[in-house]
Amino acid sequence: MTLVLQPHERILCALDTNDLNAAKATVRSLAPNGKPLIGGVKLGLEFFCSLGPPAVNHIRALGLPLFLDLKFHDIPNTVAGAVRSAMSVAPTFLTIHASGGRTMIAAAADAAKQGAEAQGVQPPILLAVTVLTSLDADDLSSVGQDRSVADQVRRLGELAVQSGANGLVCAPFEVKFLREALGDDVVLVVPGVRPEWSAKNDQKRVMTPAQAIDAGADYLVIGRPITASPDPVEAAGKIVAEIEAGV
């Protein structure tokens, strides 16, 4: 079943910081009076390693869905234990690396369900990361991977879904063929999205919000265009307008 989402619900704001007060201020501005202007916030390794689970809980308590982007990648037992532990902060989304393999992905999926049940929370949408959006074909070649980016994304995406992942994190230009290959039940979360008015930064394979939604993306991960803006609320509103124009 295709997700039915309002335009603002598609935006997941990446809080790439280790400053808890700054992160809380951004989240409060994006959910004024308890009314969310976006669909959630993404916390990654910098925030988690600097501040730990208590700070994550502070952010989650502000009312926006939590995308915990830790990209677990290790032997199956280790990843399963990490996923179970992560359920203490009740993430709505949680990431693992698809390149960890079939057994690791299946262990993560089982652990997410078990850990969520033990914590009395809903299981997260388990997302497998295929190829990082900062990488291009030259980068893959430099680490001995001779497939094209598209071929590697397709291979890892199919493996992840078959092994129990609920969705994928993928670059915008892979969305269309993944949607066609995997169907509407797979959740596609897309970084590498930049509004037309925003700098490209270190993302090499990018689209605008409207283009990504038109290609079949469910959620868009957008960080600096919102968080580095003098007015994050205005920036989020402009992105919502771009999405509305493309829906």
CA distance 33 to 235: 18
Task: Give me the residue label for tokens 């234990």.
Answer: 81
Catalytic residue among 35, 42, 71, 200: 71
Of 184, 206, 189, nearest to 134 (Cα)? 206
Query: For residues 201 and 224, is the Cβ–Cβ distance under 8 A?
Result: yes
CB atoms within 10 A of CB 60: 21
Query: For residues 235 and 167, is the Cβ–Cβ distance under 8 A?
Result: no
CA distance 118 to 29: 33
Q: What is the DSSP string of 117-179?
A: HHHTSPPPEEEEE-S-TT--HHHHHHTT--S-HHHHHHHHHHHHHHHT-SEEE--HHHHHHHH
71 is catalytic: yes
Active-site residue list: 71
